[in-house]
Structures are given as structure tokens and as C-alpha cells.
């Protein structure tokens, strides 16, 4: 079976990368140019998207800190600098010297008989100490039994990741912005889980049996833990970036359809009609009230006198003449004013008839 390891991934990256990366950059530039030329303006980050971004940040942060050595199981071959072929007594004697009071712990005592054979030690590097100590049905003659026991622990972080992705892209949390990416997020999380399980299930555990130096051992279990956490962190970061960019109309901007534009225009017209109605009510109240009517008449009389004085000023006349000379056609202005006045009269007559 094909084994997916670091060298295979590097070879694949160096082979596909020169062809894939330029196309991804070209696709990004195309989407960015389309967004900039789109009639949809760039907007601030919507509040529902903030909640999705927080969920993805927490998921990425937890995945990243899970790669720290503090949260990883202990590797006795690494801490004792022992070869895989080191006798059991020598291996645990070295381990005992590193324990408090030079005494092996209860876990060390349980692990000691499980590492008696070379095959068991190979499975230890592949699946970690927990599987080797606690599996009740695993036998070296059936390597798949170790994989079956380890499968739930392999899927557990991916299930949590899928839950975080589903929550971040749900319509209740992110509204319409996250639901667009829901299918993509689920496919991405499921693909990571399948690739992870496939790489563990097809790994050749016996490869370490031929290694003679401790530094050449392939610590597969610890390496895959690190890659798993980093991959989930990168996936969450990429999804958060896409969700933010799409919600702010920086990329993938979709202009509203005619029905949505019509609905928005009708809302604006209804709002303007309400404001005009309110202005009409105010003017009606002013016209009916004697005191307000007198104050209004006094204001406009004074305003007329002030404007006459301003317009009669020689400097204002010269300035207006210089500004309008050769730029504005008086006949065109009069024609536009006539059409505007006719339109108002027709609209008012239509309102009265209605």
C-alpha cells in the first residue's frame, strides 16, 4: 500500500506547487478585481461574522497549542536516547534514572512487558503509548488491531473540528454569510479526517525495525500529532479569512438580484414618502396656528430683506457673474426649472385624484 509520509508530501508539494500556486494567485487577483469593479460596495464586518470568527479562532488556537510538547505523550526512546533494539532491562533502567526517586511509575510498569518484542516497539512509535498499554485485543500478528483501537482517538479531534466548522457556518450563528461556506467547510474537515486515518492505516510500522541510530527513528505518532494540529489551525485560518473577505464584499461579491434591488428601492421611497408626509403635517400645523404663522411670515420677510441686501452687494454680483460666465446656460436652467415645476404640479394633481 502507498505510504504518505513527510518526504512524499514534500515531493508532491514541489511537483504540484509550481503549477498550482500561480493559478491560485491568478484566481485571487481575478476575484479581487471583480470585487473592486462590482457595484456592491465594501462594507464593515457584520456582527454575525464576528461570532463565527471567534469560534474559528478558538478552534485554531486549541489545535495549535495541542502541538506543544507539554500536551504530547512521553516518548521513552527519545528521552533515553535509546535504540529500538535496546534490551528491555537497559531501556527501563535508563528510564528509572530519570524518574523521581529513581523509581519507575505505575505507567512504566504497565508498559514494560508490552515492549518486550521489536514489533511491539514499532507499534509504540506508530500509535503511541496509550494504544500499546490499554488495548485489550491487540496482537503483533494482527497489525490492524492496533489501528482499530486507535481509530476513535484519531477521529476525536476531527469530530471536534467538524463541530466547530458546523457551528461557525450555521445560519443561527453567522446568518447568511456563513451558510454559503457550510458545505465547503464540512468537505474540508471530512477530507482532513480521511487523509489522517489513511496515512496512519497505511503506514509501514516495521520501517523502524531496521533503524540502528536513535536520531534516525521515525517518531510517526508524535509527528502526525503535530501535523494534525497545524493542519486544523491553517484550515480554520483560511476559512476565517474567506468568510471575512466574502462578508465584507472584498471577494466573491454578488450583486443583489432585481427583486432585492426593487425591494430596497421601495423601502427608500416609502421612507421618503413618510418624511414628506411629516413635513406636510408640520406645514399644515404652522399654517393653522396664528402665532406660528406670524413667526413664519416674519422670518421669511426678514430672510427676503437679507438676501436682497446680499445679492445687491457689488462684490457678490461680480463674483456670481464671473462664476457663471460661459459655464451655465440661463435658458437651459429656466427650461429645467419649468420641467421640475410641471412635474410637481402633475404629481400633486395625481395625489388629489387618487
- Using one digit for the tens of pLDDT, what is the confidence trace for 200-251? 988 888 888 888 888 888 889 999 999 999 999 999 999 999 899 888 877 7
| pLDDT given at position 1 | 36
How far is it, in rounded angstroms, from Cα 199 to Cα 256?
A: 45
Q: For the residues 18-39, what does the mean pLDDT come to?
A: 67
Q: What are phi and psi of 171, to 5 degrees?
A: -70, -25
| pLDDT given at position 9 | 59
Q: For the residues 50-67, what does the mean pLDDT come to?
A: 94
Checking if the pLDDT of 347 tops 60, the result is: no
| pLDDT given at position 255 | 67
| pLDDT given at position 225 | 92
pLDDT band, very low/low/confident/very high, at 2 (cuts 50, 70, 90): very low
Q: For the residues 304-323, what does the mean pLDDT come to?
A: 77
| pLDDT given at position 315 | 80
Q: What is the mean pLDDT of the chain?
A: 82
Higher pLDDT, 338 or 86: 86
Checking if the pLDDT of 252 tops 50, the result is: yes
Q: For the residues 131-159, what does the mean pLDDT come to?
A: 90
Q: For the residues 277-291, what does the mean pLDDT come to?
A: 81
| pLDDT given at position 153 | 92
| pLDDT given at position 266 | 86
pLDDT band, very low/low/confident/very high, at 148 (cuts 50, 70, 90): very high
Amino acid at each position: 500500500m502507498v505510504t504518505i509520509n513527510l518526504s512524499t508530501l514534500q515531493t508532491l508539494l514541489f511537483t504540484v506547487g509550481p503549477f498550482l500556486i500561480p493559478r491560485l494567485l491568478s484566481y485571487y487577483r481575478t476575484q479581487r478585481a471583480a470585487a473592486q469593479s462590482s457595484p456592491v460596495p465594501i462594507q464593515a464586518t457584520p456582527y454575525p461574522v464576528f461570532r463565527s470568527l471567534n469560534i474559528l479562532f478558538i478552534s485554531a488556537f486549541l489545535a495549535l497549542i495541542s502541538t506543544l510538547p507539554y500536551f504530547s505523550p512521553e516518548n521513552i526512546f527519545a528521552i533515553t536516547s535509546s535504540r529500538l533494539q535496546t534490551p528491555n532491562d537497559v531501556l527501563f533502567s535508563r528510564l528509572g534514572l530519570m524518574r523521581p526517586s529513581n523509581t519507575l511509575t505505575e505507567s512504566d510498569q504497565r508498559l514494560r512487558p508490552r515492549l518486550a518484542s521489536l514489533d511491539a516497539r514499532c507499534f509504540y512509535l506508530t500509535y503511541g503509548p496509550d494504544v500499546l498499554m490499554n488495548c485489550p485485543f491487540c496482537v503483533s500478528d494482527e497489525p490492524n488491531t492496533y489501528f482499530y483501537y486507535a481509530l476513535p482517538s484519531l477521529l476525536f479531534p476531527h469530530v471536534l473540528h467538524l463541530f466547530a466548522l458546523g457551528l461557525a457556518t450555521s445560519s443561527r450563528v453567522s446568518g447568511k454569510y456563513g451558510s454559503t461556506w457550510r458545505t465547503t467547510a464540512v468537505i474540508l474537515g471530512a477530507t482532513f479526517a480521511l487523509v489522517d486515518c489513511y496515512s496512519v492505516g497505511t503506514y509501514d510500522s516495521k520501517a523502524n525495525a531496521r533503524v540502528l541510530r536513535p536520531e534516525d527513528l521515525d517518531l510517526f505518532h508524535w509527528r502526525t500529532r503535530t501535523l494534525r494540529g497545524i493542519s486544523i489551525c491553517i484550515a480554520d485560518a483560511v476559512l476565517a479569512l474567506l468568510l471575512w473577505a466574502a462578508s465584507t464584499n472584498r471577494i466573491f461579491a454578488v450583486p443583489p438580484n432585481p427583486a432585492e434591488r426593487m425591494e430596497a428601492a421601495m423601502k427608500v421611497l416609502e421612507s421618503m414618502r413618510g418624511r414628506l408626509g411629516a413635513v406636510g403635517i408640520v406645514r399644515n400645523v404652522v399654517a393653522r396656528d396664528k402665532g406660528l404663522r406670524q413667526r413664519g411670515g416674519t422670518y421669511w420677510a426678514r430672510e427676503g430683506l437679507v438676501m436682497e441686501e446680499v445679492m445687491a452687494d457689488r462684490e457678490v454680483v461680480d463674483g456670481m457673474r464671473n462664476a457663471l460666465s460661459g459655464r451655465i446656460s440661463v435658458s437651459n436652467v429656466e427650461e429645467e426649472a419649468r420641467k421640475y415645476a410641471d412635474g410637481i404640479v402633475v404629481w400633486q394633481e395625481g395625489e388629489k385624484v387618487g
